[in-house]
């Protein structure tokens, strides 16, 4: 899924890629609203639709950035508007931890953003995408694995940068364990 989203061949005028994980009920609708209203947006974003931000495993973000995505954007329903009641509260804790964890492994935290956009907020969606794209344009291509610190390389090498082995599993347990309310 991540690989497909990052390897699309159409490159409008930039090879930079932002992966967007959008909750089906709010932010995906917001992006749709922006499209229907023909609000102009930078073309860097590749969208992956998820049922709720509560479904976001922090490892999706880390794996995408280590594998070279230039930016990762997660967007869901506003707090208290989650269609599964508390999914975005769990997500907020996990994603904030990811944001703070990224510098530790050598990834610029400005490459990651999470936010909330409702289905009616097409204009806000346009603003979020435009602002984040500008930051990614300024940062330029993400060296991915090449930018990792020694600690980050040790962690990622031990983990093999995939979800199947024990190292990545343990990292996932660590990051997810803080999401308990």
Residues that bind ligand FES (CB under 6 A): 23, 25-26, 52-54, 76-77, 82-84, 87-88
The torsion of the CA quartet 114, 46, 132, 148, rounded to 10 degrees, works out to 80
Least separation in angstroms between CB 41 and ligand FES: 21
Q: Which CB, 88 or 133, lies closer to ligand FES?
A: 88
Is 30:130 a contact under the CB 8 Å cutoff? no
Least separation in angstroms between CB 88 and ligand FES: 4
Q: Is 6 helix (H, G, I), strand (E, B) or coil?
A: helix
Q: Which CB, 67 or 176, lies closer to ligand FES?
A: 176
Least separation in angstroms between CB 98 and ligand FES: 16
Least separation in angstroms between CB 39 and ligand FES: 21
* Alpha carbons 1 and 6: distance in angstroms, whole number: 9
* Alpha carbons 15 and 142: distance in angstroms, whole number: 11
Q: Which CB, 77 or 98, lies closer to ligand FES?
A: 77
Least separation in angstroms between CB 6 and ligand FES: 23
Q: Which CB, 75 or 142, lies closer to ligand FES?
A: 75
The tally of CA atoms less than 13 A away on the side-chain side of residue 35 is 9
Q: How many residues does the chain have?
A: 181
Which tokens sit at 63? 């794996």
């Amino acid at each position: 899924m991540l690989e497909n989203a990052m390897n699309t061949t159409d490159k409008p005028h930039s090879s930079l890629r932002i992966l967007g994980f959008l909750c089906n009920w709010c932010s995906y609708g917001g992006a749709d609203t922006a499209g229907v209203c023909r609000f102009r947006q930078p073309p860097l974003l590749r969208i992956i639709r998820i049922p709720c931000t509560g479904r976001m495993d922090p490892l999706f973000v880390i794996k995408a950035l280590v594998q070279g995505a230039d930016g990762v954007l997660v967007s869901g329903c506003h707090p208290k508007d989650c269609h599964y009641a508390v999914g975005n509260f769990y997500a907020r804790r996990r994603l904030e931890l990811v944001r703070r964890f990224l510098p530790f492994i050598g990834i610029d935290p400005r490459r990651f953003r999470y936010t909330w956009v409702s289905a009616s907020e097409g204009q806000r969606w346009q603003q979020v995408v435009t602002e984040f794209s500008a930051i990614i344009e300024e940062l330029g291509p993400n060296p991915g694995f090449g930018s990792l610190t020694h600690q980050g390389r040790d962690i990622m090498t031990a983990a093999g940068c995939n979800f199947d082995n024990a190292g990545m599993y343990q990292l996932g347990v660590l990051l997810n364990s803080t999401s308990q309310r």
